[in-house]
Amino acid sequence: MNRRIAYFLVAAFSAMPAFAVADVQPPQGWTLTETLRYALEKAPEISTARLQRDNADDGVGNAVGRLLPSLDISGSAGVEDRRAAPGPVAGSSTAPWSSGINLALTENLYDNGTSIIGWRQSKVSRELTEVVLRRVRDNLCLAVASAYYRYGLEATLASVRRDQLKLTEKQFATVNQLYKQGLRARRDYLRFEAEVQRTRINLQQAEIAVASSHADLLAAIGRGSGETAVDFAVVEPPLQTDEREDPIVPKAAPEVDGVYAVREASLQARLAPFPADLARRKYWPTVNLTLGASYGSTGFLNNAAPLVDAFNINRDARLGALLTMTFNVWDWGIRRRDVAIADRNVIVADNALSRARLDAAADTKKLVLELEQLKNTYAMSRSLVASQQEIFGFLEQDYREGKVTPVDLIQNFRDLLDARVSVLQARTNLAIGVLRFHFLSANLAPFLGVADSKDI
């Protein structure tokens, strides 16, 4: 009867040779590309970044508009009581209508450079919002892809645990039958019963992990609980491999100046001198030169002539230039303090840029080392599976010769299962590490194939 248990165990194990994702038949659902595109369309942080970029676009347009002439038109019409004073002759009245129209074209030719500085500042601000949008996009892609891979891992592990429970319960049923017949010791019965309980606990934990990772993925893509439920396809995280199927990981760290944090800090450092420049200009006399042209016509509604003739009768056309110079001789040190504040902000921005470069250099170097470690862990996990598979073969032969017990065979089967689980976990961790590398390289969206989003 012991031999019967071993044969059943070996046959059941052989039915599940790899416990890889390909062996599991999960429900079909959204692919990673579909999930990412949905997130890019619905996630609130993407919407916020787009609105900020649109605001910066309008800011550039406003800055350009301040450099161009402005055209104003105004008109007025009213009624006035124009009766003559009382006297011996009955009072007479005049036409009560009062009206006027004016058209003015104005151009400020010089404003101490304020408009030019504002235009340059708006262009840098626009560039900053574009970098922020791309950083938010890639950060969202990193979060969604990582959550997608983790959900696939947890779903796969839960499927493996279900298969393990089915196998263990069948084994326990056989041992239980033999125990009732007096052919197995109570010790063996209790060992198998404990194994079943342990497997059930592992399955419950795996199912909780699946539900939790599914909720995290829905939150990452911006899908609310009130919307139609969706499922996600469970796939093996892709890895670039060589001819020996060993994963290929980057060896060189990404360029520091290409990291989003450094690019943003660099643009902030470029923006900081503009307020300082404006603050220093307050020391100078404010000189404004305004050139204007206007055309006006008054009382056009008070004339019996046709409307065109009424315009010509009371017309008033003017060309003018206005030069205004203002100089503040005393402001209780406000300008001096404004300049000092602006200069300190420039230093602060430069310090932030230096810190961002230092942090980025450390992060990129550590990530390359981590990727190499993850690669080695993945390789060692695969090697461990091969070793455990070989050990199981030896134990199988030993059991056939009566050298080991079924419990020893079950224990080795559990070790082999754990080794294969570690392979899945190592592969997922390595794939997420590769995603982080491309995020630091500022090309994660192209790497994932979603850089062509129409709104980015």
Q: What is the pTM of this model?
A: 0.79
User: pLDDT: is 299 or 200 the higher one?
Assistant: 200
Ramachandran assignment for 289, one of left (phi > 0), alpha (psi -120 to 50 degrees), beta (any other): beta
- Domain borders along the chain are 2-71+98-448
pLDDT at 172: 82
Q: What tokens appear for 230 in the block?
A: 């969706």
- Mapped onto helix, strand or coil, the DSSP state of residue 334 is helix
What is the dotted CATH code of the domain comprising 2-71+98-448?
A: 1.20.1600.10
Sequence length of the chain is 456
Is residue 279 a contact partner of residue 260, using CB atoms and an 8 Å limit?
A: no
Q: Whose structure tokens read 């911006």? A: 222
**Residue 163 corresponds to which tokens in the numbers above?**
């298969």
Check residues 9 and 269 and name the one with the higher pLDDT. Answer: 269
* Confidence category of residue 22, pLDDT binned at 50, 70, 90: very low
Q: What's residue 391's pLDDT? A: 86
Judged by DSSP in three states, 74 sits in strand
The DSSP-derived string for 442-455 is T-HHHHHT-TT-TT
Sign of CA dihedral 385, 388, 394, 395: negative
Q: What is the pLDDT of residues 166-215, one digit of tens each?
A: 888 887 888 788 778 887 778 878 888 888 898 899 999 999 999 999 99
Which residue in the block uniquely carries the two structure tokens 């470690």? 373
State how far the Cα of 223 lies from the Cα of 308, in Å rounded to an integer. 64
| Helix 334-400 vs helix 273-281: crossing angle, to nearest 10 | 180
What span, in angstroms and rounded, lies between the C-alpha atoms of 263 and 128?
A: 8
Between the two ends of the chain, the Cα-to-Cα distance in Å is 68
Three-state SS at 244: coil
Average pLDDT of the residues in 137-165: 93
Question: Which two tokens mark 242?
Answer: 């060589």
